Amino acid sequence: MRCFFCKGDMEINTTNHVVNLSGCIIIVKNVPCTKCSQCGEVYYEDDVMAELEIIVNDMRKVITEVVIVHYPDKIA
């Protein structure tokens, strides 16, 4: 697979996904992704995007100023 932007090689990897939600920061660590080895552009699979949406929506209920959660951990 080639990067849409720079045409570099894509590699299976993990990343931190950061969301700024009304002035509060949500950081989801160790998110599986495909990352360009040349420019660093990140792509998520559909199931990963769906899980990120669930995590961010769950964090809205308990949001403080900064929330850090690991991707594979289940939200109670």
Q: pLDDT by residue (tens digit) across 26-40?
A: 999 999 999 999 999
| Over residues 4-33, mean pLDDT | 93
| Cα distance between residue 68 and residue 9, in whole Å | 30
pTM score, two decimals? Answer: 0.81
Instruction: Note the pLDDT of residue 76.
Output: 45
Band of residue 68 on the pLDDT scale cut at 50, 70, 90? confident
CATH 3.10.20 assigned to 10-70:
yes
| Cα distance between residue 5 and residue 75, in whole Å | 34
Instruction: Note the pLDDT of residue 74.
Output: 54
Instruction: Note the pLDDT of residue 1.
Output: 87
Instruction: Note the pLDDT of residue 62.
Output: 80
